[in-house]
Amino acid sequence: MDDTARASLQKGRGAGSNASGRFEHEKREAFDDGWDTADGPPPRLATSFTRDSTRTVITRNDSPDIPFDRSINPYRGCEHGCIYCFARPTHAYLGLSPGLDFESRILVKEQAPALLAAELRKPSYRCQPIALGTNTDPYQPAERHYRIMRGILEVLREFRHPVTVVTKSALVQRDIDILADMAKDNLAACAVSVTTLDRKLARTMEPRAATPERRIETLAALAATGIPTGVMAAPMIPALNDAELEAILERAAAVGVRGAGYTMLRLPMEVAPLFIEWLNDHFPARAKHVMSLVREGHGGKDYDPQWGKRMTGTGPYAELLRIRFETACRRLKLNLNRGRLWRLDTTKFAPPPLPSAQLRLL
């Protein structure tokens, strides 16, 4: 396939290829068979949506370096197409590619609100905050149509169940009414991921996510309603967006945000070759330097999955990033009450009575 055809196929997408997942017996490899020049470029890659037939929606984890033990992902795959997304390898479990398939073949959990209500009613259930947006973005473009996230929030509000939300979409503003209502009872907190303030870089790196300006606007809207709001400067990519760390925090603090976090770039499994391919396509002069610093922060490898190290990295570069973040937070008075900001109330949890429960009174 020539460069023109490739650009046409992948316009508006993050990944530059669609290699087979690690569990497949056959490997796909693009090559020019001579037909493209005769028939013209292939059609634009369309997004398809498939119903996910899962029977449960709450995912559990016991990772010691993340502050939650349960989460919900309304969608599998994400049309935002962020090239660095650490969730891409999960598509391999479906027999799909972590590349273009991840951002164009989306599985939709339409029954998620009903399944969630059923799980919360189980006598064995013990309440702890549920995290939304920890894998794929719950407010990706499909949410405008399916409205699964709003349904989930309605269930959580009805059950008085605490929730945290992380997104890079301005669509979360649609649900401020629910989140603000829950926040009054210390049942909701929200963070917006701002990776860069450079609109051109954002379009290249996160092709279908909200612009940087819209994300700052969203932070302001959330904070203005009293919802505990944080900014995630994540991921920080050496020699690409890391120089913007302080500027991102400054813009967030200026609109009323009081919490902040950051992570260093993570490249697990199939993400590493996809990201390197993207670097060589878009930033060829910087590609080797970027990856040299990435590997320096992960013990000489593309990625070190060890708990306690995978999020922030190790070594001189990672330590400098940590110092810069903490210094900026002190100057901007961010994270002064970090523990309180995200410590939600689990004591108010109360499943509402089922309509049939009224019969027991007779």
pLDDT, tens only, 38-74: 455 557 789 999 999 999 999 999 888 788 899 999 9
Give me the residues of the chain with pLDDT under 70, please.
1-9, 25-42, 338-341, 356-362
pLDDT digits (tens, 9 = 90+) for 82-127: 999 999 999 998 999 999 999 999 999 999 999 999 999 999 999 9
Sign of the CA dihedral running 65, 66, 69, 71: negative
| β-bridge mates for residue 192, sequence order | 167, 231
Sign of the CA dihedral running 187, 56, 80, 249: positive
C-beta separation of 182 from 157 below 8 A: yes
pTM of the model: 0.90
Distance CA 163, CA 156 (A): 8
Task: CATH number for 21-29+45-263+335-349: choose from 3.20.20.70, 3.40.50.300, 3.40.50.1820, 3.60.15.10.
Answer: 3.20.20.70
Instruction: Find the length of the chain.
Output: 362
Give every CB contact of residue 80 below 8 A, 6+ residues apart in sequence. Answer: 14, 103, 137, 140, 141, 168, 169, 206, 207, 208, 209
Distance CA 252, CA 273 (A): 32
pLDDT at residue 11, rounded to an integer: 77
Distance CA 193, CA 214 (A): 11
Return the amino acid letter for 205. Answer: M
Most distant pair of Cα atoms in the chain: their distance: 78
The C-alpha R_g of the chain, in whole angstroms, comes to 21
Distance between start and end Cα atoms, the chain: 73
Distance CA 261, CA 190 (A): 12
Half-sphere exposure of 308 (CA within 13 A, CB side): 1
Backbone angles phi, psi at 71, to 5 degrees: -150, 165
Of 18, 155, 161, give the one whose Cα is nearest residue 77: 18
Q: Give the CA dihedral 131, 104, 12, 214, nearest 10 degrees.
A: -20
pLDDT at residue 30, rounded to an integer: 60
C-beta separation of 181 from 342 below 8 A: no
Sheet holding 70-72, edge to edge: 59-60, 70-72, 130-132, 163-167, 188-193, 229-236, 259-264
